[in-house]
Structure 1
Amino acid sequence: MMREMRVLSPTAILGYGFPISSFEAGLEKEPDVIAVDGGSIDPGPYYLGSGKSFTDRIAVKRDLESILKAGVERNIPVIVGTAGGSGATPHLNWCVEIVREIVEEANLTCKLAVIPAQVDKEFLKAQIAEDNVKVLEPGISLSVEEIQKSTHIVGQIGVEPIIKALEEEAQVIIAGRAYDPTVFAALPIKEGFDKGLALHMGKILECASIAAIPGSGSDCMIAYLREDHFLLEPLNPTRKCTTTSVAAHTLYEKSNPYILPGPGGYLDLHETKFEQYSETTVKVSGSKYIKEHPYTIKLEGAKPIGYRTVSIAGARDPIFIKEIDQIVEGVRERVADNFRTIESNYELFFTIYGKNGVMGELEPEKMNPTEIGIIIEAVADREDLANTICSFARSTMLHFGYPGRVSTAGNLAFPYSPSDLEAGVVYQFNVHHLLEVDDPYHLFPIKVEMIGGRTND
């Protein structure tokens, strides 16, 4: 009989939600593990730097409540990676707190494993001294100063610590920042399935039904991993997987279509085949895992660089729109002249939506829009200065004179009052490097404990 392992992915990210009907359809398939990605660095450096989740607590609890109840009651392992959105210590603690809350409220009992991913700064400084921290192109070398400026630095957990937690018979595993495919691949690899196929399967499952047509990150997907291939099947009858949709998602966020790097090695997809297995299911085979030495772990870190204030406005006057580039430069000059004596640093940005707000100078289409949206953004090393620069730029553009101007009442329409919005601290990614290690477990100590406890009626 052909060996098979079934892996259920409820949603692309905890908090994105999923139809209960799809989840129940997945449970009817009798999965061997329920795994889910808890986050991403896609929303930018703010969340890693600030220690806050970009997903809402109520939404995350809703998802976890269904997942934990199903997993614990059916004795199916539940594995969560990149807990809390970014996987640093505050994110991990936030997610674990929700798990404990659910377990208590639902009167469950389970063995919980927690795997932190935050990297100690002093340890990392020592690794720089030993030349164990390498540049990820096109970056620059990591310095002790940048480490010190970072609020949180995490390392991407590979499959090894998660496998170790499974070997300790953990029923629920909550991991900090993890390489996305690992939470889906760990149990299959532990059970002897091909590592290349398992990780490629995880690469697609991490985004749940985004790899289906129509795609959605808020719906469930199940995979059937076998000896020499895996199958992908969406659990909502309105969706289907096609060879194109699955192959396209394999390329998702990758600069090389054949090489997908991760902790300790990379996926080689030169011989990968995508075949239509049924109307809704795709078969994938031929993916290989290539082990590398030394074992490397990707590091991610963020630092605060100042404060941001923004003002949002719109304009529809065709003469104003025609002159917008000159108006922006004129406003810049007025701001620079007015604050030339200030000692603090600031930056002023204008984003013109409808013209080139997405692509900027790379925009290939030279458009003549009917209306434009304008975001004025000031970033400064002091919050009061960011407020001042944004306010002055906004008022200057509001009343700026330009050739052909007829109305003098004001150039801009503001959708909000107040027109200037404080966005708080601005963070920047400053650690994006590889750490060479001898031991894939050392950075990720595992804490296992029994939580909950059924009461006697």
Structure 2
Amino acid sequence: MADLPPFRVLSPTAILGYGFPSASFEAGLAMKPDVIAVDAGSTDPGPFYLGAGLSFTDRSAVKRDLRHILTAGRARDIPVLIGSAGGAGARPHLDWCTQIIREIAAEEKLTGALAVIGADMDKALLSQALAAGQITALPPGPEAQADLIDSSSHIVAQMGEAPLIAALDAGARVIVAGRCYDPSVFAAEPIRRGYPPGLALHMGKILECAAIAAQPGSGSDCMIGTLDAEGFTVEPTAPERACTVASVAAHTLYEKSDPFHLPGPGGALDLTATQFEQRGARKVRVTGTTFIPAQEHIVKLEGARRTGFRTVSIAGARSPDFIAGLDDILQGVRDRVADNFADMQDGAAQLLFKVYGRDAVMGALEPLRHQPAHEVGIVIEAVAPSQDQADTICGFARATLLHFGYPGRVSTAGNLAFPYSPSDFKAGAVYEFSLYHLLHGADPATLFPLEMSRLEAPA
């Protein structure tokens, strides 16, 4: 393993569609990467995009990024790997991203083997797994329920590097994969070539968000990692950014609850012996990270289901007496709305208020909640089984709050200021995560189907 040459991975952007400076990308290409890899997704935007089968990034922006990445990769004949295609990595997202890739291939006359790897889960298989006790909660979430599997519009599993390696073994030069463990697309080719999995996956953990792990951080700029048998270095390609021990170590802990053990598909990274070392002004060297294989292969499941439809109204208030009595006023509005709509009484519909400037971000956990604000923003939200019901409940609540009488009220013309006309906005379907659980005993060879084709159209 000591004879392994340096292996370079270029990460252009934190999320496909976030963009990157052309100069930074060209600087990265000048360092002769062996792979270009990009993470295209996240659960951070919430369950809507998985449930609805839509991308949270703009198509034109994604196509711009992919054009640069694909043309550079094919010109150098190096693998291009895209993980969590379309944002959430379900079949509609995968097809959406693959269509963009084929458009670019036709426009730029690109050729080569294309691999598409699905991550969608069969509901019957999951129901059997649930009955067999193979689906467990991901703390602090609740136990999985059969009806939540059945009602989900899309369910994906988070693949590790094994399906990607299978595609590379099959000769793929462009890989577009469904939902992926974020480091996998960066680690797959080096692991395939015999580099230590712990180091490759840790490097992928840093590269997944591109230059966010630099100072100043940016998700819209490039980062390159160089791996060898003993460790790896990471550095941004833009000269105005620098990796520091603090920035790289901090990103290692990003989205993790245990600073020493980072679980993923098939095992966990062990950071108990990890060392971070500054190399010059802009690079950090990382050594000591190892990979501990799990006794069984476990993957994370993500599912989303529709729970109703949403309408919102945004209003502002700055009357001191109104703000002082806001809790009682909002409760009065809730009571009046509930008295008028049966759906509110049986729990089929909800009326929610978010008070910005007081506790909209942290809710009951807000420690400064009782400090007076000179103005507040109020988001009125109605969620109901149909859009018409949500519209009606939101409109009724908005009008009630506007004219609600309270002790000492002076502004009888209305309690609220509305920045928009019309005041109410139809937000459409509402989704919730129905599954955020672990599937035990999964076989990555059969769980993630591989489809091979050509970038170019048949002659």
TM over 0.5: yes
Return the offset for 1:108.
Answer: 1.1
Return the offset for 1:324.
Answer: 1.4
Instruction: Verify: 1:68 aligned to 2:70, yes or no.
Output: yes
- Equivalent of 2:50 in 34, 48, 51: 48
Q: Which residue of 2 aligns with 1:334?
A: 336
List aligned pairs for 1:273-288, cutoff 5 A: 273-288=275-290
Aligned residue pair count: 455
Instruction: Verify: 1:439 aligned to 2:443, yes or no.
Output: yes
Return the offset for 1:149.
Answer: 0.3
Q: For structure 1, which segment, 73-82 or 315-324, has the greater mean C-alpha deviation from structure 2 after superposition?
A: 315-324
Cα distance between partner residues in 1 of 2:433 and 2:327 = 30
Q: Which residue of 2 aligns with 1:345?
A: 348
Contact 2:299 2:442 in 1 (8 A): no
Secondary structure of the residue aligned to 1:434 is strand
List aligned pairs for 1:18-417, cutoff 5 A: 18-340=20-342, 345-365=348-368, 366-417=370-421
Cα distance between partner residues in 1 of 2:376 and 2:430 = 26
Partner amino acid for 2:360? G
Contact 1:344 1:381 in 2 (8 A): no
Contact 2:312 2:379 in 1 (8 A): yes
Secondary structure of the residue aligned to 1:86 is coil
Partner amino acid for 2:400? T
Partner amino acid for 2:49? Y
Secondary structure of the residue aligned to 2:352 is strand
Partner amino acid for 2:352? F
- Equivalent of 2:430 in 408, 426, 430: 426
Contact 1:10 1:36 in 2 (8 A): yes
Cα distance between partner residues in 1 of 2:309 and 2:161 = 38
Return the offset for 1:403.
Answer: 2.3
Partner amino acid for 1:300? E
Q: Which runs of 5+ in 1 are unaligned?
A: none
Return the offset for 1:129.
Answer: 2.8
Return the offset for 1:340.
Answer: 4.5
Return the offset for 1:453.
Answer: 6.0
Return the offset for 1:343.
Answer: 6.3
Contact 1:201 1:230 in 2 (8 A): yes
Contact 1:136 1:432 in 2 (8 A): yes
Partner amino acid for 1:345? A
Secondary structure of the residue aligned to 1:139 is coil
Cα distance between partner residues in 1 of 2:51 and 2:156 = 11
Q: For structure 1, which segment, 325-334 or 24-33, has the greater mean C-alpha deviation from structure 2 after superposition?
A: 325-334
Partner amino acid for 1:391? G
Cα distance between partner residues in 1 of 2:245 and 2:4 = 23
Secondary structure of the residue aligned to 1:452 is coil
Cα distance between partner residues in 2 of 1:374 and 1:139 = 29
Cα distance between partner residues in 1 of 2:39 and 2:173 = 17
Contact 2:4 2:195 in 1 (8 A): no
Return the offset for 1:438.
Answer: 5.3
Cα distance between partner residues in 2 of 1:315 and 1:258 = 48
Partner amino acid for 2:145? S
Contact 1:51 1:90 in 2 (8 A): yes
Secondary structure of the residue aligned to 2:446 is coil
Instruction: Verify: 1:9 aligned to 2:48, yes or no.
Output: no
Return the offset for 1:142.
Answer: 2.1
Return the offset for 1:390.
Answer: 0.8
Contact 1:109 1:454 in 2 (8 A): no
Q: For structure 1, which segment, 399-408 or 71-80, has the greater mean C-alpha deviation from structure 2 after superposition?
A: 399-408
Partner amino acid for 2:404? F
Contact 2:231 2:287 in 1 (8 A): yes
Q: Which residue of 2 aligns with 1:450?
A: 454
TM-score, length of structure 1 as denominator length: 0.97
Cα distance between partner residues in 2 of 1:143 and 1:321 = 42
Partner amino acid for 2:427? A
Cα distance between partner residues in 1 of 2:329 and 2:134 = 50
Q: Which runs of 5+ in 2 are unaligned?
A: none
Q: Provide, for residues 183-231 of structure 1, a one-character-per-residue CA deviation record: whole Å limited to 9, x for no partner.
A: 0000010011110111111111100000111111000000011111110
Secondary structure of the residue aligned to 1:442 is helix
Q: What percent of counterpart residues are identical?
A: 59
Cα distance between partner residues in 1 of 2:441 and 2:176 = 23
Secondary structure of the residue aligned to 1:200 is helix
Cα distance between partner residues in 2 of 1:367 and 1:29 = 54
TM-score, length of structure 2 as denominator length: 0.96
